[in-house]
Amino acid sequence: MMHEHGILRHAAQRLLGVLPTMLLLITVVFFLVRVAPGGPFDSEKALPPEIQANLEAKYHLDEPLIQQYFRYLGQILVLDFGPSFQYKDWTVNELIAEGFPVSLTVGGLAMVLAFLVGTMIGITAAMKQNTPVDYSTMGFAMLGISIPNFVVAPLLILVFAVYAGWLPAGGWDWSVQRMVLPVITLALPMIAYVARLTRGSMIEVLHSNFIRTARAKGLPEKTVIRRHALKPAMLPVISFMGPATAGLITGSVVIERIYAIPGLGSYFVTGALNRDYTLVMGVVIFYGLLIILLNFIVDLLYAWLNPKIRYDEEY
């Protein structure tokens, strides 16, 4: 009872804490994007001053910065991220609404794949610590953080799409075939991190007293791992997955660019490079919210996995 009360109180506190965090985040982002030289309407064909003025007036860029800031805050309150400067026919809300499901699908699948493969490799390696099995499985897992994904992606396309002709070379239409290569590419680095964390914590757990006790009772090793070791060994993995998931489901620029996938990730880069202020602020704030939300979920999961946790220290 006491414990559940603690979780609820903690949850309420956390949610209250979100507001000032978001406000600060919005403020920082708003002024950061304005620091970059150049503006959204600069282009190779320089605009006559009157047209430049027309454009700025249309998007309120002629107002003092502080006034623009409060105008923006007012918009955010009603969850309106405004029109995109770059993609003029669309609002930022629409762009996020179109891109997010794509990123969520690719990122979510990659996360699941990484979790499954990564934990399997990690457990195997932990059980055979410092043997060739350990080195080779971990060696395989580390592939993803030893070769940049902008090399892996075109290589996979070349082999599986261009040479073998088994899968499409890119593009997006919600079909499973088109998801296979991007999901694998996106999962590869994550597999490495998950495997490493699992291996480390599994080794630790396997050396702990309660596992020794369980073994002493004569339980088979598989049962020991499944019943006793798995849950505590997953703790660090879970806390890692929170922010990592946010990164994955807001997409990866590399994956989106090379596989021509219309997700959210590219907007972080193109938005910043095009000085599409509203778009880049929109996706950054969206990402911030997602991170906070996921960390919150991770906390709850953590508490569920490990009832001993004390909230006054962790926060």
Query: Binders of another protein among 243-262, rule CB under 8 A?
Result: 243, 247, 250, 253-254, 256-260, 262
By beta-carbon proximity to another protein, the closer residue of 21 and 68 is: 21
Structure tokens at 92: 């930022």
Using CA atoms, how far apart are residues 111 and 183, in angstroms rounded to an integer? Answer: 9
Candidate ranges 93-101, 211-219, 221-229, 297-305; the one touching another protein (CB under 8 A): 93-101
- Contact letters (x/-) for another protein, 44-83, by CB under 8 A? xxxxx-xx--xx-xx-------------------------
By beta-carbon proximity to another protein, the closer residue of 115 and 193 is: 193
First to last CA, the chain: 20
Asked if 95 interacts with another protein (CB under 8 A), we say yes
CB 53, min distance to another protein, A: 8
Asked if 86 interacts with another protein (CB under 8 A), we say yes
**Binder among 12, 24, 112, 116 for another protein (CB under 8 A):** 24
By beta-carbon proximity to another protein, the closer residue of 90 and 220 is: 90
DSSP state of 83: B
Rg (CA), the chain: 24
By beta-carbon proximity to another protein, the closer residue of 230 and 257 is: 257
* Degrees to nearest 5, angle at CA 236 with 284 and 187: 55
Structure tokens at 90: 């669309």
- Burial class (CB within 10 angstroms; exposed 0-12, middle 13-18, buried 19+) of 113: middle
CB 206, min distance to another protein, A: 10
Q: Are 138 and 198 in contact (CB under 8 A)?
A: no
By beta-carbon proximity to another protein, the closer residue of 12 and 158 is: 158
**Count residues contacting another protein (CB under 8 A)?**
97
Residue with tokens 């620029």: 253
By beta-carbon proximity to another protein, the closer residue of 108 and 262 is: 262
Site for another protein in 153-212 (CB under 8 A): 154-155, 157-159, 161-163, 165, 168-173, 192, 196, 199-200, 203-204, 207
**Binder among 142, 183, 187, 248 for another protein (CB under 8 A):** 142
Asked if 101 interacts with another protein (CB under 8 A), we say no
By beta-carbon proximity to another protein, the closer residue of 69 and 87 is: 87
Give Cα separations from 107 to 16, 17, 101, 176, 248 (angstroms).
Answer: 28, 27, 10, 14, 5
Site for another protein in 269-298 (CB under 8 A): 269-270, 272-275, 280, 283-284, 287-288, 291-292
CA torsion angle 83 85 90 93 (round to 10) = -50
Using CA atoms, how far apart are residues 58 and 50, in angstroms rounded to an integer? Answer: 12
Site for another protein in 209-238 (CB under 8 A): none
Q: For 207-276, where are the alpha helices, taking DSSP H only?
A: 209-216, 221-223, 230-233, 235-249, 253-259, 265-273
